[in-house]
Amino acid sequence: MATFKYTTLNNIAQDGIDRLGENFVRTDDVSEAQGILVRSAKMHNMEISDQLLAVGRAGAGVNNIPVEKMAEKGIVVFNSPGANSNAVKELVIAVLILASRNIVDGINWVQANENNPDIAADVEKEKKKFAGTEIKGKKLGVIGLGAIGAKVSKAAVSLGMDVYGYDPFVDAKKAKDINKKMTFISSIDDIYENCDYITIHVPAMESTKDYINEESIQKMKEGVVVLNMARDVLIDEEAMLVALDEGKVRYYVSDFPNPTVTGHKNCITIPHLGASTEEAEKNCAIMACDELREYLEYGNIKNSVNYPNIDAGVCASECRLIVLHKNIPGMIKKLAHVVEDEGINVAEMTNRSKGNYAVTVLDLDSQISGQNEENLSKIDGVFKIRKVK
């Protein structure tokens, strides 16, 4: 089996790296890496080398990676969905309580009184300023019912909350499987109009930018608390500041400090700690490294954000080719034509597509010539050809 060079753009937990195995060699030179492991490092302005075959994101969000550009170069981008969902869920529950009990203001008061010799007595006089409300019996709206949203909805129900769930990609039946004690909502306005707390768990994409905006905030209840442990771009934060100033929104809790919101008295910001637990870092690293290894060694794809999942198993034939190509008609015929032209029998062929992109795995009864491999790569619409065996 070939050896692969990989590099890391962030610290990746050793438990993951250990799973890459002996066929993987670390390099510090990103231009020679066939695999990149990344957490939050921004890759949009990075030069993408021709050597690069795959990127493994140890985490869920891929807004730091030029996913489309990678697809056009035949580079498969993986993420680790669900691997840090428990960590994020726990933080959501923590901030929910933090905001409902005015804990941050309370802690700030104590810190400001560190040299006050009468602090013990003053606490009893001052604490009424920080009295809050309980979350039990309150309505929580969960926008996005993926791995994190689903877990948040269950945890909130177990704390006695009345949970409303919304996700345009989930139907009533699926919503029941996710959490039968959640009220599934098919119009997001029901969340805005009814909920005391709203938490958002959708991916950051062009289509989800400003998902919560001035118009949606207008529909919300007076004194609502909005939690954002997903990404700052999902919220029109200028509109959020106006709503905070007017008291329409009681607290905006965000895991993404930025110059717009940081410092506002009713905005609680956390330094992107959603997935920062030992367990989540380990789980994400393991998932990303397993995905990278499976693809580089066998060509199988699981949890890619730009190519379809494909599982052709282990190659039992002489040769395996992985073709990453445009999802257009006639492609399979063209690929087969080049292979058969050389008198090679196709033992097994697997093809999958996702949106504009497709993968074809060809298991062949004999080795293909270098010339024909090149001919395959010249077919219009083929982004990359890999021979994994």
Which residues lie near ligand MLT (CB under 6 A)?
A: 39-40, 59-61, 84, 274-275
Distance between CA atoms of residues 387 and 389, nearest Å: 6
Q: Is 120 exposed, middle or buried (0-12, 13-18, 19+ CB in 10 A)?
A: exposed
- Choice between 106 and 274, CB closer to ligand MLT: 274
* CA distance readout (Å), 18 to 14, 39, 66, 182, 287: 6, 17, 27, 40, 12
Shortest distance, position 278 Cβ to ligand MLT, whole Å: 14
- Choice between 106 and 146, CB closer to ligand MLT: 146
Shortest distance, position 149 Cβ to ligand MLT, whole Å: 13
Alpha helices, DSSP H, located in the chain = 14-17, 67-72, 85-100, 103-112, 119-126, 147-158, 172-178, 188-194, 214-219, 237-246, 278-298, 331-341, 370-377
Shortest distance, position 319 Cβ to ligand MLT, whole Å: 37
Q: What Rg, from alpha-carbon coordinates, does the chain have?
A: 25
Residue among 290, 259, 297 at smallest CA distance from 4: 297
In sequence order, the β-bridge partners of residue 37 are 8, 56
- Choice between 275 and 376, CB closer to ligand MLT: 275
- Choice between 135 and 233, CB closer to ligand MLT: 233
- Choice between 43 and 161, CB closer to ligand MLT: 43
Shortest distance, position 344 Cβ to ligand MLT, whole Å: 43
Shortest distance, position 92 Cβ to ligand MLT, whole Å: 12
- Choice between 59 and 144, CB closer to ligand MLT: 59
Shortest distance, position 59 Cβ to ligand MLT, whole Å: 3
* DSSP three-state, residue 29: coil
